[in-house]
Chain A
Amino acid sequence: MTSENRFTDSPQFRFKNSRVSLNELILLDFDAERLRTELAQHAARLPSLFQQMPVLLNLEQVPADRPLPPLQDLLAICRESELHPVGLRGSNRYDAELCRSLGLADFGQGGRGDPSRTTPTESEEVVAAEPVAAVAEKAPDATLKAESRTRILTTPVRSGQQVYVQGGDLIVLSSVGAGAEVMADGNIHIYGPLRGRAMAGVNGNTEARIFCQSLEAELISIAGYFKASEDLRSDHWQKPAQAWLSGTRLDTAAL
Chain B
Amino acid sequence: MAEIIVVTSGKGGVGKTTSSAAIGTGLALRGHKTVLVDFDVGLRNLDLIMGCERRVVFDLVNVINQEATLNQALIKDKRTEGLFILPASQTRDKDALTVEGVERVLNELSEMFDYIVCDSPAGIEKGAQLALYFADTAIVVTNPEVSSVRDSDRILGVLQSKSRKAEQGGSIREHLLLTRYNPARVQAGEMLSVEDVQDILAIPLLGVIPESEAVLKASNQGQPVVLDQQSDAGQAYLDAIARFLGEEREHRFLEVQRKGLLSRVFGRKG
Contacts and interface: CB of A to CB of B under 8 A. Distances in A.
A179 interface: yes
A151 B150 CA distance: 25
Interface of B: 124, 150-151, 153-154, 156-158, 160-161, 199-200, 202
Contacts of A160: 124, 153-154, 157-158
Mostly, the A contact residues are loop
Interface in A169-197: 174-175, 177-180, 193, 195
A155 B154 contact: no
Contacts of A157: 157
A178 B153 contact: yes
A158 B156 contact: yes
A195 B200 contact: yes
Among A156, A180, A195, find the residue whose CB has the most chain B CB atoms closer than 10 A. Answer: A156
Interface string A196-233: 00000000000000000000000000000000000000
Among A157, A159, A175, A193, find the residue whose CB has the most chain B CB atoms closer than 10 A. Answer: A159
A155 B203 CA distance: 11
B187 to A, nearest CB: 22
A1 to B, nearest CB: 31
Nearest to B153: A159
Contacts of A177: 150, 153, 200
Among B150, B153, B202, find the residue whose CB has the most chain A CB atoms closer than 10 A. Answer: B153
Cβ-closest 3 pairs across A and B: A158-B157, A159-B153, A159-B154
Given A158-B160, A159-B157, A161-B161, A178 B202 contact: no
Contacts of B124: 160
A119 B124 CA distance: 38
Interface of A: 155-161, 174-175, 177-180, 193, 195
A97 B153 CA distance: 51
Among A155, A158, A193, A195, find the residue whose CB has the most chain B CB atoms closer than 10 A. Answer: A158
A174 B158 CA distance: 17
26 contacts: A155-B160, A156-B156, A156-B202, A158-B154, A158-B157, A158-B160, A159-B151, A159-B153, A159-B154, A159-B157, A160-B153, A160-B154, A160-B158, A161-B157, A161-B161, A175-B202, A177-B150, A177-B153, A178-B150, A178-B153, A178-B200, A179-B153, A179-B154, A180-B157, A193-B199, A195-B200
A43 B193 CA distance: 59
Contacts of A158: 153-154, 156-157, 160
Contacts of A159: 150-151, 153-154, 157
A193 B196 CA distance: 13
A156 B200 CA distance: 9
A158 B162 CA distance: 13
Given A158-B156, A161-B161, A179 B202 contact: no
Given A158-B156, A174-B202, 11 more contacts: A156-B153, A158-B153, A158-B154, A158-B157, A158-B160, A159-B151, A160-B153, A161-B161, A177-B150, A179-B153, A193-B199
Given A156-B202, A174-B202, A179 B160 contact: no
Contacts of A179: 150, 153-154
Contacts of B158: 160
A175 B154 CA distance: 13
Nearest to B124: A160
Nearest to A193: B199
Nearest to B157: A158
A238 to B, nearest CB: 11
Contacts of A161: 157, 161
Nearest to B159: A158
Contacts of A174: 202
Nearest to A178: B150
Nearest to B149: A178
Contacts of B199: 193
Among B124, B151, B154, B161, find the residue whose CB has the most chain A CB atoms closer than 10 A. Answer: B154
A160 to B, nearest CB: 4
